[in-house]
Homo-oligomer: A and B are copies of this chain.
Amino acid sequence: MVNSEAKTPRERYRAQVRTEIKERAWEQIATAGASALSLNAIAKQMGMSGPALYRYFGGRDELITELVRDAYRSLADTFHAAAQAGSGVTGLAQALRGWALQDPHRYFLIYGTPVPGYQAPDDTTAISSEIMATLLDACAALPSDGPSTPFDAHLEGHRDWAGGHPAPPAVLHRALTFWTRLHGVLSLELAGHFTGMGIDPAQLFAAELDDLAGPPRG
């Protein structure tokens, strides 16, 4: 018998209830944000009473941690798929934006305001570097490169985060700015800071992407 999946019926049931709880949690997060996530409400919605959920999750924080993990996993999968589609960094960027717009609260759960005491568990940083790896691959495939900047020199000495990826500093730099710039536009868009301004976030995003994927800056 295979150890990994579907062992005892009890475990099957347990896993099913766990995923249903998470589904309800996602619904709740999608409508009201992570701060409004209520174990009580989820329990009531599932027809059972409050403390029952503590059989499945140690508490609110543990549930949120699990959701963060799932969100990271989802983004990593999206990135992998986009990378395999082979449309380079622009494909990755569009995949990122699509993923973010599909559920803004999920994006904020990862990249938004950090919750007070919470800190990401180790495996999320593993998934995070997985994401970074596919981004680095895409950036390495771009035509390189402009003059070396002082920051490139700094990166030469601090490339641990790249997980041993054999890319020149300029590529690391590009991946980093890809991340920060697109996050800059995206997070402001999702937070609604452009709504009152009348400008089109998609075009601003595209402009940043053009500047990123196009010219090796000089």
Known contacts A113-B113, A180-B188: A161-B35 contact under CB 8 Å: no
Residue of B160, B207, B218 near A150 (CB, 8 A) is B207
Q: In whole angstroms, how far apart are the Cα atoms of A39 and B198 in the complex?
A: 37
Count residues of A near B (Cβ-Cβ below 8 Å). 53
What mask results when residues 175 to 218 of chain A are scored 1 for a CB within 8 Å of chain B, else 0? 01101111111011001110011111001101110110001011
Interface window among A17-25, A82-90, A94-102, A151-159: A151-159
Asked whether A207 and B173 contact (CB < 8 A) given A112-B112, A113-B113, A192-B114, the answer is yes
- B196 with A161: CB separation less than 8 A: yes
State the CA gap A154–B205 with chains docked (Å).
Answer: 13
Please pick, from B176, B185, B206, the residue contacting A204 in the complex, using a CB distance under 8 A.
B176
Residues of B with C-beta under 8 A to A173: 207
Interface residues of A (CB under 8 A from B): 32-36, 108, 111-117, 119, 125, 149-151, 154-155, 158, 160-161, 173, 176-177, 179-185, 187-188, 191-193, 196-200, 203-204, 206-208, 210-211, 215, 217-218
The answer to whether B125 and A196 touch across the interface, beta carbons within 8 angstroms, is: yes
